[in-house]
A = this chain, B = another copy of it.
Amino acid sequence: MKDKLSIIKIGGNVVNSPTEMDLFLKDFAALEGYKILVHGGGKIASEVSASMGLEPKMTGGRRITDEQTLDVVTMVYAGLLNKKIVSKLQGFDCDAIGLSGADGNSIRAHKRVVKDLDYGFAGDVDAVNSGMIESLLRSGLSPVFCAITHDKKGQLLNTNADTIASELAKGLSDQLDVELLYCFEKDGVLEDVEKKDSVVEHLDARKYEHMKANGQIAEGMLPKLKNCFEALEKGVSRVVIGSPKLLKDPQRKHTTLTL
């Protein structure tokens, strides 16, 4: 039987709140077994950009990662947020180690191919160094990933944190029994986005297609759910979307995804 690994993605809105984040990190530290944390960026990168007088670069409604933006997200995600999270976890007696995809070549990506739009230094993941990550886990460390990857040719890249969580889950599911939890400000996927308690407790691919067709799934949720289903297809044992409070209270309402 494979050993269990929990991969928890914590979203930007939780990261933005020091109080919520502290509660969450305490619960993460208390989790038993192998665990990995993946954190989003929150609004701090925009605040730092603004304080440096940088304007967000947008093309066709999409944010573009130009060189200055890449520097800012590298500073904020891999520096400020990642190290604050790691030091807090260490304070809660969790032996955390912060990583970008460049560290130990843990996540290799390539600059997104230019088709209609040049996204700049946005990285699409090619490979997860599962051997290295597994050996960190087996030595008692809990990796904390920010959403920065690299191309193994000296270039850092900006990658979506949901995708990082799902790629890690897929990449480690050969060796470990992986559970993937996406924690964000809601209790799960909602039947009706206006009703906080309308949580869909079981979401399979069929219901997902149905909800998508009905316009019940908001735009931001689509790539997250795509990541979830891909993870299940690639052998991840359990994929859940819900509140960070799930860590302490697993009975709390949440969405479990199935194929």
Contact of A51 among B53, B95, B98 (CB under 8 A): B53
Q: Is A173 an interface residue when CB atoms closer than 8 A count as contact? A: no
How many copies of this chain sit in the oligomeric assembly? 2
Contact B87 A150 (CB under 8 A): yes
Residue interface mask A79-104, B partner, CB < 8 A = 1:
11011101110111001111110111
Return A11 CB to nearest CB of chain B, in Å: 20
Contact B102 A100 (CB under 8 A): no
Return A110 CB to nearest CB of chain B, in Å: 13
Return A97 CB to nearest CB of chain B, in Å: 5
- A82 contacts which chain B residues (CB < 8 A)? 78-79
Residues facing B in A36-89 (CB within 8 A) are: 48, 51-53, 71, 74-80, 82-84, 86-88
How many chain A residues touch B (CB < 8 A): the figure is 42
Q: Is A154 an interface residue when CB atoms closer than 8 A count as contact? A: yes
**Please, how many angstroms separate the alpha-carbon atoms of A97 and B104 in the complex?**
5
With A53-B51, A91-B152, A102-B86 in contact, do A74 and B80 touch (Cβ < 8 Å)?
yes
Return A127 CB to nearest CB of chain B, in Å: 13
Contact B52 A87 (CB under 8 A): no
Contact of A79 among B75, B95, B96, B154 (CB under 8 A): B75
